[in-house]
Every structure is written in structure tokens, then in C-alpha cells.
Structure 1
């Protein structure tokens, strides 16, 4: 674990990303900090140091206890804390692009991303739904899958940042099956065969067509195809009960059909510790599961527990071989 090299992107420099990064690194033993490279700006990190009262040293040429920074030019002065701006949005994308380059070249084993602001990113002309879509684009991947991981509840999403109407359209046999397979392979990679449950799309899974027939037409065939491949999966199961069952230990992973169906239960039971994991990419990426929190950025109040969880999960992923049966 100690030899895994992890790149941490700064996120939106106007948000809490720099603050939770310096707090998390300050909480780690000094010897472990040598395994990290921060993709961002020394100036932003030093500003976060002052805000949080940490006393870390950062340098593009690390040594003597300083933490490595892969300096990325942002084309202007450091943006004001707590404000949505295209400069900050563009900077956050530049950091991600550089981290992907490092990962694809094999210079780092995993990327940990601090939060970005989707409005700022789009104001800067980068029209993506967030990290997930941007990472798929940068790696040339057809698609990717969002897994939210916590100690007692894990959920992987068929769709994420789209309208509810579009989410219903995306719940096809092919996409649901691919989502099941992605979760199955990830758990195998980490050393276990997941017990997977597929959450229903309609209330009570449609009640045999009374409340819609999508569950019968798309979800049930996907589950049957996955079962035929030897995957331990059941469903669809009504979404109003499946998460309670999973939290109680009946399942290791729930397949959520859309963003809020998966995010609400995770954020209810593990708001400070759940992490966001991108599956289906040629690189490994883990992120905090919170936003830029502009309302408290610059105050030093941001909780770094989620960043520590992301770092721990990144190490777990980095030391696990990518190829699975």
C-alpha cells in the first residue's frame, strides 16, 4: 500500500477542495505524504494552508518534507474563494486533464478528485455533466459508471446527471446489464463476489404493469442475462425496500436506476464517509462525495473526513489488479 502513487486534483480552486486536501494530508503520517502528488497550484495550496492553519510545504521539486505538486497553469490569477467563475471552472478541468495524462502514462496508480462546480465548468466552455462524463471523454471510453461506496451500503448507477425523463429512457436491457457487470467485476477485483440487487424503476416494480411496464420489459431480462453469466444478482426489487435490506446486510451492492434513487440513501447513512468511484475507465478514479461548498469555502470549516475516505479507497483500488475473471 505504501508504494502506491496517488494523484490528487485540486478541484475548483474557489471551493473547499484545497482546504480538505491540506487537512487530509496533515492528518496523515509525514512518511506517507511522499506517495502523493497534488495536481494544481502551489499558490492555491498555500492559501488553503493559511485558511486551515496547517503548516504543510508544497513544491514542484519536492524534497526535505515538502509535498509534490504538478503545477498546472490556469491562465490568470487565482480566482476568488467562494465565487462561481469560468476561470475556476477552466482550472478544474485543466487539473483533471493533467491527472488523466499521468494515470494513462502509468506515472500514478489512481486519481483522487476534489469537488468541481458544474456551472463554473460549463461557463468556461467545458460542457460535461461532471467528472464522470469528462473522464470518459478524456480516456476515450464509451461510457462509465458511478459507484457510491460506503461501509454498509454501496450503489452503482444506471444513469446519473440527466433528467428523470432521460433516465427512464436510459434504463435499457443493455445498459442495466452493463451496470450489473461493472459492479460485479469491481467487487471481484477487490477480492469478493458481490451479492447484487437491482432496484426497480417504477413504484413496486410496476405491479405487473399496473404502474408501468419498464421493469418487466427491461430490468427483468437484464437480471436474467446476468444470472446466466454466473453473476449473483436478483431483482428488480422495489426501491422502497431494497436499500434497507442492503443496509441490513442482505446485499453488497444495489443497482440504482437514476441519480437520486442511489444518492439519497447513501447520503442519508454515510454522508461524511461515502466515496464516488468511476468504473469502466482504463484508469482508476475515486472522489469525495460532496460539492464545492462555496458558502463555507475560505472559512476553514470544511470537514476533511470524506477526503480521507477517498484516499483510503484509492489506496485499496491501487493495490488491486485491474484484470479479473
Structure 2
């Protein structure tokens, strides 16, 4: 089986991620599965010498092909992992992040975005970062999603959508403490999240008439105000506006009955009010191959739905399943967006 070309006949740009984490080895593993998984061509922005050494140390010997330009990746991919060199400032010890390498991690993201926006790569796929290490290096963004929005120059916040196990969840609030969610939740936030999600489902997922379910914040959807008034004062008014705009939206719906098989058949995505409300059911359904997708960007970005797994780094025991799913998802979304353009 030959690898499927990436839309529009361009390779995917895979970022380094935290070099002391599992990003390098799962990239090696993914390349080794390229034929059986019918992976699209991709290149990794990383240190080629580090990757070659890592492959031998973890029992994953992979021919590394240093490239000078993304165009070389298409021809090189079948015979080796194409790597666009990114110099590291300090030696990498698996499991021990070094803030000295934070600049290289950030540069890898910057270069991937630049290459996609310049039409030299089809989409950005990001390996996991270690935010504590980047913060020590001067990084000032809560995470990947917010930094990508900064690079894209967005005026509005992007939307984090996660997909896996036949479920899609979009988050109204993302990386905030649970005690702060109610104060951050507004009808405008919900309207933005739902509109961006609907637009992406049409353009990037090919769903002509997206169906959205909106989760309640409180138990029993607030029970008429007895358990909270957010449903009455914030969520229901937003749903009414979306319906008036012609969108197929239902809610607010109690979260404890929203994720079983019968309920999932009734919608294409759920708007969840906070991180764990969406991530717990998704990871329960599909812990290994969930994908993080950023909506609202002028380019496609996907990522594995897991962290750097420092305790597994350098062992060769990490699973590449989520990265493989992220690569396949990026290719599928890029193809769909190209057709919709």
C-alpha cells in the first residue's frame, strides 16, 4: 500500500515538541507504520542527529533524511523520515526537559506555521510541549492553542475541538480553573464557540448541516434555577439566538445524559462548558487515538491528545496511535478545506 498524498499534494509539517518527551520516538514509530496505516507524507522539524541516535537507543532504527526544503519531503518520505533541521541549544536527556531548548521548541512551531501559510506544507501537526519548561524559557502563552492564535494574528479566540471514539467536543472555556468557569462563561462566548464550530464542521469536515448539542453547566441543567441560573440566563439565550440564525442547536442539556451511544447519534458535536466536561467522556471512549483540532485558524492544526509522557521518554514504549490519528486527521481536513476553497 502506498502513502496517500497530502492535500494539496504537499507534506504535513510536524513540530518537534518537547525534545525530552516522547515526540521524537512516536514520530519515528509513526514513520515505521507509514505503509500499514497509509500515512500521508510528513516531515519533522527537529535535530536529525538527535533523532538518529534516539532511534538506535530505543530500538527504533529509522533512516533519517535531512532535507533543506519541504518540497524534498515528498520524494524522501518512502525511504526515510524527512527532517528539516532545527538546532538545539543543549543536549537532550530523555525525561529531563531543559529550558535552554525552549527556543528551539518555539522555533519549530513558528517554522511549521510559516511553511503552511507560505503554501509549502498542507497542515501543522504539533507534538506535545512541556509548558513548565517553556515558561522557564520566557514563554508567555497558556498553551499551543493560544500561541497559534497569536501567530495567526487572530482577533477572536480559536476553538479547541477534540475528536475520538465517534465523539466531537468543542470547549467554551479551556485551560482555566474550575472555580473560574462560571465567571468566564457568557452568551457571547457560547455564540462564538458555536459559530466557529459550525463553520469548521461545514468547511473542514464536509457536514452540510451540522447539528450541535450544548451542554448545561450545572447538574440537571440547573433544575429551573434551583442548582444555578447559568442555564436560564446565559446558555438558553445563546441557544435561542443560534436557532434564530438557522443553526441546528439544542440545549442546554444535562451533561450526565449527553454522552451515551443513543445521545451521540443525535448530534455532530457538543459544546462543553469546561475542559473536563468534554475531555473525560472523550478519553473514556477513545483514550489512545483522540485528536486535538484547533478551529478558527487560517490553517489546519491537529495534535495528539496526550502530553509529553516524560516517564516513558527514551524507553521506546510510548504509543504512536494518537499521533498517527492526528496525521490522518490533518490530511483529511486539509483535503476537505482545499475542496471547499
**TM-score, normalized by length of structure 2?**
0.89
Partner residue, 1:303? 319
Q: Distance in 1 between matches of 2:274 and 2:154?
A: 20
Alignment match, 2:66: 59
Residues 324, 238 of structure 1: CA spacing in aligned structure 2 closer, same or farther, 3 A cutoff? farther
Q: Give how far 1:212 is off.
A: 1.2
CA drift at 1:226: 1.1
Which of 199, 211, 224 in structure 2 is aligned with 1:208? 224
Q: 1:129 aligns with which of 120, 131, 142?
A: 142
Please list every run of 5 or more consecutive structure 2 residues that lacks an aligned counterpart in the other structure.
Answer: none
Contact 1:79 / 1:87 at 8 angstroms: preserved in 2? no
Match of 1:188 in 2: 202
Deviations 1:271-304 (A, max 9, x none): 1011000001111100000000000100000001
Q: Which runs of 5+ in 1 are unaligned?
A: none
Counterparts of 1:116-195 in structure 2, within 5 Å, are: 116-142=129-155, 143-189=157-203, 190-192=205-207, 193-195=209-211
Q: 1:248 to 1:197 in 2, by over 3 A?
A: closer
Preserved CA contact (<8 Å) 2:168 2:270: yes
CA contact (8 A) 1:246 1:253 kept: no
Task: State which drifts further: 225-234 or 164-173.
Answer: 164-173
For residue 233 of structure 2, what is the aligned residue in structure 1? 217
Deviation at 1:13, TM superposition (A): 0.5
The equivalent residue for 2:106 is: 93
Verify the 8 A CA contact 1:153 1:246 in the aligned structure 2.
no
Deviation, 1:67, is: 3.3
CA contact (8 A) 2:48 2:64 kept: no
2:264 & 2:249 partners in 1: Cα distance?
17
Contact 2:28–2:81 (CA<8 Å) still a contact in 1? Answer: no
Pairwise CA RMSD: 2.2
**Is the alpha carbon distance of 1:176 and 1:149 closer, same or farther for their aligned partners in structure 2, counting shifts above 3 Å?**
same
Which residue is 1:37 aligned to? 43
Matches of 1:89 and 1:230, distance apart in 2: 46
Alpha-carbon offset, residue 141 of structure 1: 1.2
Where 2:29 maps in the other structure, the secondary structure is helix
Distance change (3 Å), C-alpha of 1:169 and 1:106: farther
Partner of 1:288: 304
d(CA) in 2 for partners of 1:10 and 1:289? Answer: 16
Shift in Å at residue 314 of structure 1?
A: 0.6
Contact residue 23 and residue 52 of structure 1 kept, 8 A? no
Specify which of 269, 283, 287 is matched with residue 285 of structure 2: 269
Number of residues paired by the alignment? 324
The 1-side partners of 2:135 and 2:301 are apart by: 21
Alpha-carbon distance in 2 for matches of 1:34, 1:173: 40
- Relative distance call for 1:89 and 1:168 in structure 2 (3 A) is farther
1:46 positional shift: 1.4
Query: Is 1:260 the counterpart of 2:273 in the alignment?
Result: no
Q: Deviations over 1:135-176 (max 9, x none)?
A: 111111131110001141110000111112332222211110
Q: C-alpha displacement at 1:21, in angstroms?
A: 0.6
Which of 242-251 and 196-205 deviates more? 242-251
Distance 1:34 1:206 in 2: 46
Q: Distance in 2 between matches of 1:11 and 1:117?
A: 8
SS at match of 1:155: strand
Candidates 12, 18, 26, aligned match of 2:32: 26
